[in-house]
Amino acid sequence: MADHTTRRRSWWGWGTEADALSAAECTALGSLVPGAAATPLPVPDVSGHLLPKVRVEPPTALAPFMSAAPLDRASHTYGKAYRDVVRALEGDLTAAPDQVARPRTEQEVADALDWAADADVAVVPYGGGSSVVGGVEYRADRHRAVVSLDLSRLDRVLEIDRVSRAARIQAGALGPGLEDQLRPHGLTLRHFPQSFEFSTLGGWLATRAGGHYATLYTHIDDLVESLRVVTPAGVNASLRLPGSGAGPSPDRLFLGSEGALGVITEAWMRLQERPRHKASATVLFGDVHTAFGAVRAIAQSGLHPANCRLLDPGEAALAGVAHGGRSVLVLGVESAHVPVDGRLAELLALARDHGGSPAPTQPGAPDAAADTWRSAFLRMPYLRDALARMSVVTETFETACTWDRAPQLYEAVRGRLADVVREVTGAEGTVNCRFTHVYPDGPAPYFTVIAPGRRGAEVAMWDEIKSAAMEVLHDHGATVTHHHAVGRDHRPGYDRQRPEPFALALRAAKRALDPAGILNPGVLID
C-alpha cells in the first residue's frame, strides 16, 4: 500500500485504474460464468458531452476550492454500488454534481454550507466515495444545483495523546494515510473495513462502518471519543470523553447520519497498540448449521477472537479456500500484550466440541486460509467491476439478526434469492454467505449473489434482486444493513424498519440543524 497516495483513482469503478482488470482479463473472468457477455463493456471517455450543463458558479471567495472539471464531476457522480458502476460504464452522468468542492479548512466547509443554504444548492458530503448504497448520489430535483463536498484535503492526524491512546484526526483521511501517520507512534486505529484503502474516517463515522474484526469493537462507533460536525446551525463539538452518561449521546445522533445532519470534520478516536502476538487456524464443518452452532458458542464464550469468519461452501470456493464442499471457519486471535496461543487453543477446543475439524496446517506456519481469504477479500471489488463489464449481475448485501432466527434467515435468503435470480435473469445464479461479525446474541451474515445478466438490463435486474433481498430481510426481522449504511438504495427497507416516532424525531432534528434542507437530500429521511 506504499503507493496509495499516488496511484490514480478510477472515476467509474473501484479503487485505482492500475488495479482494474484489463479487457482481456474481464473476458477470461466472464468465461467462468455461463451466460455472461462475450465481450466487456468499454470504459467510456469522460468528456464534456456526457455531463449536464453546470448550473451554478461559486462566489469568488469559494472559487479557489471548487472545480467543475469533467473528470471531477464524473468521479463524484456515484458511489461504488454495482448499479453505480454499470451506469458509469454506460456513460450515464446525468446526476453529476455541478461543482466539486475540496475545502482545505473547517471554515471553508462552513462557508460552503452558508453559501449553499442561501443559494438553494444541495450539498453531498463525499469522503472516499466508496458508498455501495447510493449514499453520495443526488437523486432529487428540487434544488437549483448540487455540490459534492469532498473532504479529501482534510486528511491529517492533528494531535496524538499517547497517554490516553487517542488521536484527533481529520475526517478526510483515508485508511492508509491515517495509519501511516499513526504508525511512527506505535499506535493504530485498527479499523479495517473492506474499503479501507478508499474510504475515509469521516465516511466511516457518517455510515457507522464495520471493521475487519469479528467481535468486540466491530463498528467504528465504539472507537469515538468526540466529534466535530459542521451543521448549518453551527459547529457541534462534543467533549472528549472515555465514557459518559450525560443525556442521550450527542455523538450517537451524528454517527450514521450519512451527511444529512452535518459534515463531520474531525474526531478524537481511540487507538490501540499494534498487536505483537497473533495466531490463527481454520476449522471445517460438514454441515453449515453445525457451523452456526459452533460460531455461536464462540461468540458467547467471552474469548473475543479478532477473526471469526465463517464461509459457507459457496463462499469458501469463491474466496479460493474451498475444502471439499465444507464450511470454513477462519479463527484469529491478536494481542499487543500477552501471548495468544492459549486463547486459540480454547477457541479450537470449543469449535471441536461443536462438531468442527481443525484443517491440517504445517506446524508453526501462518494459517494459509486466512491469508488467501484476505487477498481475495481485497481483490473482490475489482472482480465485481470486471464482472459488471461482462454484464454479470452481482449484488452483496449484509445484515444482522439474533441467533434464534439466523438458520431460517440463511435458508430463506438462499432459497428466495435463487428463485428471484432465476425469474429475473432466466439463469441459475449463485448465492453465498459468510459471517463478517459475530455477537453473543447473533451473527452479521453477508450474502453475495452472482448471475449472468442481459446487456442494458443489468440495473433493472439488480434493482429487482435488491428489492427481494430487502423483503426477505424484513420478513425475518433482520436489519436492512449491518455496516453498509442506508443511503438511497436501502430506503425502502429502512423506512419500514425505523420506528415511526424516531422518524418524527429525526425529521425534527434535521429541520433544526439544516433548515434549508440542503444536506445530502434523500438519505435516511425526506
- Binders in 400-429 for a second copy, by CB under 8 A: 400-404
Q: Is 379 in the site for a second copy (CB under 8 A)?
A: no
CB 376 to a second copy: min, Å: 23
Q: By the 8 A CB rule, do 50 and 94 touch? A: no
**Which 260-299 residues touch a second copy, going by CB under 8 A?**
261-262, 270, 272-273, 296
Long-range contacts: 13-18, Cβ < 8 Å, 24+?
A: 13/80, 13/85, 13/88, 13/89, 13/382, 13/385, 13/388, 14/80, 14/85, 14/130, 14/198, 14/381, 14/382, 14/384, 14/385, 15/197, 15/198, 15/381, 15/382
CB 395 to a second copy: min, Å: 18
Q: Tell me how many residues contact a second copy (CB under 8 A).
A: 95
Q: How far apart are CA 523 and CA 501, in angstroms?
A: 18
Q: How far apart are CA 314 and CA 318, in angstroms?
A: 6
CB 485 to a second copy: min, Å: 6
Q: Is 524 in the site for a second copy (CB under 8 A)?
A: yes
Residue of 20, 480, 518, 519 that binds a second copy (CB under 8 A)? 480
Which range binds a second copy by CB under 8 A, 25-33, 56-64, 92-100, 230-238?
230-238
Maximum distance among all Cα pairs of the chain, rounded to whole angstroms: 69
Residue of 490, 518, 520, 522 that binds a second copy (CB under 8 A)? 490
User: For a second copy, which is the closer residue by CB, 261 or 461?
Assistant: 261
**Which 294-313 residues touch a second copy, going by CB under 8 A?**
296, 300-303
Q: Is 341 in the site for a second copy (CB under 8 A)?
A: no
CB 141 to a second copy: min, Å: 23
Residue of 26, 122, 255, 321 that binds a second copy (CB under 8 A)? 255
Q: Is 471 in the site for a second copy (CB under 8 A)?
A: no
Identify the H or E element spanning 254.
helix 250-254
Q: How far apart are CA 75 and CA 51, in angstroms?
A: 11
Q: Is 256 in the site for a second copy (CB under 8 A)?
A: yes
CB 43 to a second copy: min, Å: 32
Cell of 455: 446487456
User: For a second copy, which is the closer residue by CB, 325 or 440?
Assistant: 440
Q: Is 128 in the site for a second copy (CB under 8 A)?
A: no
Q: Is 191 in the site for a second copy (CB under 8 A)?
A: no
CB 345 to a second copy: min, Å: 11
Burial class (CB in 10 A: 0-12, 13-18, 19+), 351: buried
Identify the three-state secondary structure at position 292.
helix
Q: How far apart are CA 267 and CA 248, in angstroms?
A: 18
Please state the separation of Cα 447 from the chain's center in Å: 14
Q: Is 354 in the site for a second copy (CB under 8 A)?
A: no
Q: Is 69 in the site for a second copy (CB under 8 A)?
A: no
Cell of 276: 505483537
Q: Is 506 in the site for a second copy (CB under 8 A)?
A: yes
Q: How far apart are CA 357 and CA 511, in angstroms?
A: 56
Give which of 115, 72, 116, 118 is closest to 97, Cα–Cα: 72
Residue of 16, 249, 290, 372 that binds a second copy (CB under 8 A)? 249
Please state the separation of Cα 283 from the chain's center in Å: 27
User: For a second copy, which is the closer residue by CB, 303 or 418?
Assistant: 303
Q: Is 331 in the site for a second copy (CB under 8 A)?
A: no
